Amino acid sequence: SYVLTQPPSVSVAPGKTARITCEADNIESKSVHWYQQKPGQAPMLVIHFDSDRPSGIPERVSGSNSGNTATLTLSRVEAGDEADYYCQVWDSTSDHFNWVFGGGTKLTVL
């Protein structure tokens, strides 16, 4: 099965840039989607198709996907960005519908 690997935690000071990675074999061949989940809340889509922002997501949130690593980048980090972040792909290598999630990364704003 296809496995997405994320770092358990990332820490960043306010105003700096946070990069959260999602690693998998040849992930650049897949479309990667990212969700933000704040404590006690439902997941919220922040990036789809590697780098597209849904309506209402600020431009300082961006995504990229190359080789074996997809990256979610949050520029000028704010306290409100503190949350868990999950990457997700649709795994076409299996013979049935299959969503795969990464294990999640807890972003801490220092």
Partner 1 sequence: EVQLVQSGAEVKKPGESLNISCETSGYSFTSHWIAWVRQMPGGGLEWMGIIYPEDSDVKYSPSFQGQVTISADKSTSTAYLQWRSLKASDTAKYYCARLQGYYNSYGDFWGQGTLVTISS
**Rounded to the nearest whole angstrom, what is the least distance from the CB of residue 28 to partner 1 in the complex?**
13
Task: Using CB under 8 A, count the residues that bind partner 1.
Answer: 26
**Burial classification of residue 100, based on how many CB atoms lie within 10 Å of its CB (0-12 exposed, 13-18 middle, 19 or more buried):** middle
Query: Do the Cβ atoms of 88 and 101 come closer than 8 Å?
Result: yes
**Rounded to the nearest whole angstrom, what is the least distance from the CB of residue 103 to partner 1 in the complex?**
5
In the chain, what is the greatest distance between 2 CA atoms, to the nearest angstrom?
44
**Structure-block tokens of residue 62:** 């961006």
Q: Which of 5, 21, 31, 64 binds partner 1 (CB under 8 A)?
A: 31
Indicate whether 43 belongs to the interface with partner 1 (CB under 8 A).
Answer: yes
Distance CA 58, CA 62 (A): 9
**Rounded to the nearest whole angstrom, what is the least distance from the CB of residue 86 to partner 1 in the complex?**
6
**Structure-block tokens of residue 54:** 């849904």
**Rounded to the nearest whole angstrom, what is the least distance from the CB of residue 94 to partner 1 in the complex?**
9
Residues contributing to the site for partner 1 (CB under 8 A) = 30-31, 33, 35, 41-45, 48-49, 54, 86, 88-90, 92, 96-104
